[in-house]
């Protein structure tokens, strides 16, 4: 099910930030702090193991962001049988929901790798949307498709080809000019890997806000743009960016490691 998006009022550009989380605590915290400083909404796709290993940080993030699941242990689902896929998907969702104490609605497959069994399971289990589909096309049944924009950070390539992080985010920036809605994958294990990378993410967010780009939670975007009726199940303290939101100067987006460990979050 993929509604046709109506033209944006006044050429408004939309960005949905999707964070796939299977990195370390420090990397996850860096991206969280940058978003906290920028007060911008995002959807975090947590691996079940992350929710079990760092429940305090996942809960803290869930206060401000929409949370979804990303399987239990981050396998390539295409290599698993229907039964094992089912176990990964259900167990992953359960772990996230047990941690944050509210239902989730969306799913993203690890490495964007899925097959027809994945789609069948997501439909059977009542998921509302899937944000995986990048390489393959399927009949998605009742699922709303949130197709990721083809570009992602490509962090592993930066050093190899000598690309500076900010240059990579300039590509993000170009995409947000070309496309009406950009669903941008942001990986804490990439964009939060070093302070320099996190600073590049912050630069991109500031720039997009200055240009009046509107940031969305997927739920709100589905309701407003596609007219999907969804009951309220959002974060307790949502960030609602209509563009030009104020950065919280009292939140240090990139504290040193020592300061980050003692400060909360
Ligand atoms: Zn992943």
Average pLDDT, the chain: 85
Q: Which domains does the chain have, with CATH numbers?
A: 13-245 (3.20.20.370)
Helix pair angle (25-38, 195-210), 10° resolution: 20
Q: What is the pLDDT of residue 150?
A: 67
Tally of residues, the chain: 265
Work out the pLDDT band at 7, boundaries 50, 70, 90.
very low
Query: Would you give the DSSP letter of residue 211?
Result: T
Distance 13 CA to ligand 1 centre (A): 26
Work out the pLDDT band at 104, boundaries 50, 70, 90.
very high
Distance 35 CA to ligand 1 centre (A): 19
Q: Strand ranges (DSSP E) for 113-197?
A: 129-130, 144-145, 181-186
Rounded to an integer, what distance in angstroms lies between the CA atom of residue 254 and that of residue 251? 9
Between 164 and 88, residue with greater pLDDT: 88
Between 148 and 50, residue with greater pLDDT: 50
Distance 108 CA to ligand 1 centre (A): 8
Structure tokens, 161: 């080809």
Q: Strand ranges (DSSP E) for the chain?
A: 14-21, 43-46, 66-69, 106-107, 129-130, 144-145, 181-186, 214-216
Distance 127 CA to ligand 1 centre (A): 18
Task: Show Cβ contacts of residue 161 under 8 Å, excluding neighbours closer than 6 positions.
Answer: none
């Amino acid at each position: 099910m993929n509604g046709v998006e109506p033209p944006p009022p006044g050429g408004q550009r939309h960005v949905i930030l999707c964070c796939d989380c299977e990195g370390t605590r420090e990397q996850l915290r860096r991206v969280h702090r940058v978003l906290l400083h920028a007060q911008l909404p995002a959807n975090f796709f947590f691996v079940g193991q992350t929710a079990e290993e760092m429940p305090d940080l996942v809960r803290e993030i869930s206060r401000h962001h929409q949370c979804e699941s990303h399987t239990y242990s981050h396998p390539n689902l295409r290599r698993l049988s229907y039964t094992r896929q089912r176990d990964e998907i259900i167990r992953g969702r359960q772990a996230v929901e047990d941690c944050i104490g509210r239902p989730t609605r969306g799913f993203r497959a690890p490495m964007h790798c899925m097959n027809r069994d994945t789609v069948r399971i997501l439909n059977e289990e009542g998921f509302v949307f899937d944000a995986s589909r990048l390489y393959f096309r399927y009949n998605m049944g009742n699922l709303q498709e949130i197709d990721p924009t083809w570009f992602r950070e490509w962090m592993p390539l930066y050093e190899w080809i000598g690309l500076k992080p900010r240059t990579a985010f300039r590509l993000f920036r170009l995409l947000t000019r070309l496309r009406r809605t950009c669903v941008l994958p942001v990986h804490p294990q990439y964009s939060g890997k070093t302070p320099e990378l996190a600073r590049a993410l912050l630069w991109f967010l500031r720039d997009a806000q200055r240009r009046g780009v509107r940031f969305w939670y997927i739920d709100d975007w589905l309701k407003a743009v596609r007219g999907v009726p969804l009951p309220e199940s959002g974060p307790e303290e949502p960030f609602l960016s209509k563009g030009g939101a104020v950065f919280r100067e009292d939140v240090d987006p990139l504290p040193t490691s020592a300061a980050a460990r003692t400060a909360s979050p």
